[in-house]
Amino acid sequence: MEEQTLTDGTVWLSRPTEADIDAIVESCQDPAIAEWVTVPSPYGRADAEDFLGTAVADGWAGRSPTWGIRTAERGRLIGTVGLGTRPRDETAAEIGFWLAPEYRKQGIISRAVGLTCGFGFDPAEMGLIRITWRAFVGNHASAAVARKHGFRYEGLARLGSVHRGIRRDHWVAGRLNTDPDGPADGWPVGV
């Protein structure tokens, strides 16, 4: 897949590079990222190098792009967002994202998710039919972003995920290419 930078003039999404390793390592020290994202903990330089060399490189070589989130075209990486596809189904992907703590509650991750979904559903880009969102139960901030971008709540997977060797419940929601990009109804109270 050809690398692409996405922007709305406020947020820039571009491929993370070796120049971003220190920013990735620093951000991944945040306890909330370790709690909600399936990253190694503790997170070190070798983990960031592995992330760039496997997830990012292999993703862009295939159909699973990962972008670094920035607030300027050549700015510091403050988070990541990506679309992971499966080899036998290139019409669906799962979205994943994290953001450094000092940039939360500013609408940045919401903008990044909007750009990512737009790219994913664009027939000239990935041409996806479905994007799935999944988060461990209790990750209300992630759920709010998904709900805001038209993801419809589909249920609770009891002990559906493994995180650091422990089975955990997770919520799942999906958005189809025919669903509007706007707040979705039907989410349970408290999610």
121-149 pLDDT per residue, tens:
999 999 999 999 999 999 999 999 999 99
What is the rounded distance in angstroms from the CA atom of residue 105 to the CA atom of residue 76?
Answer: 18
Contacts of 123 (CB under 8 A, 6+ apart): none
Mean pLDDT score, 148-172: 96
Percent of the chain with pLDDT over 70: 100
Q: Count Cα neighbours of 127 within 13 Å in the Cβ-side half-sphere.
A: 5
pLDDT at 190 over 90: no
Mean pLDDT score, 106-128: 98
All domains in the chain, ordered by first residue: 6-176 (3.40.630.30)
SS3 state at 88: coil
Contacts of 161 (CB under 8 A, 6+ apart): 134, 136, 167, 168, 169, 170
pLDDT band of residue 100 (cuts 50, 70, 90) is very high
Do residues 94 and 132 touch, judged by C-beta distance below 8 A?
Answer: yes
For residue 141 the two structure tokens come to: 């901030």
Give me the pLDDT at residue 161, please.
95
Please tell me the pTM assigned to this model: 0.95
SS3 state at 190: coil
Give me the pLDDT at residue 87, please.
80
Do residues 151 and 173 touch, judged by C-beta distance below 8 A?
Answer: yes
Give me the pLDDT at residue 60, please.
95
Do residues 109 and 115 touch, judged by C-beta distance below 8 A?
Answer: no
Contacts of 190 (CB under 8 A, 6+ apart): none
